[in-house]
Amino acid sequence: MKKDGIEIVKIEDSAYYFKLGSLLNERKISKTKLCQDTETDYKVITRYIDGDLTRLDINVLERLCNYLDCDISDIVELKKDVFK
């Protein structure tokens, strides 16, 4: 489910908000540039945008946060009891 450029993934009653795509659009940074500058695989970046992950990699998140000068919650956020 997508809302305002943010991918929302439902897990039981909670939701993960994957906001990397929205952040890149705001800052006018392409996925290709982000991949090159952070030395991160294109498929990995796409998964963080689409919310198609089975686990979060803290090393990837650190590279993204350092490059984008943001917090982890600017990239992915968990909101509990959204679907209760």
Q: How is 23-76 classified by DSSP, letter by letter?
A: HHHHHT--HHHHHHHHT--HHHHHHHHHT--SS--HHHHHHHHHHHT--GGGTE
Q: Which fold has domain 2-79?
A: 434 Repressor (Amino-terminal Domain) (1.10.260)
- The pTM (predicted TM-score) of the whole model is 0.88
Q: Which of 84, 81, 78, 58 is nearest to 9 (CA)?
A: 78
pLDDT at 74: 97
Residue ranges of domains in the chain: 2-79
Helix (H) or strand (E) holding 12: none
Model confidence pLDDT, tens digit, residues 15-70: 999 999 999 999 999 999 999 999 999 999 999 999 999 899 999 999 999 999 99
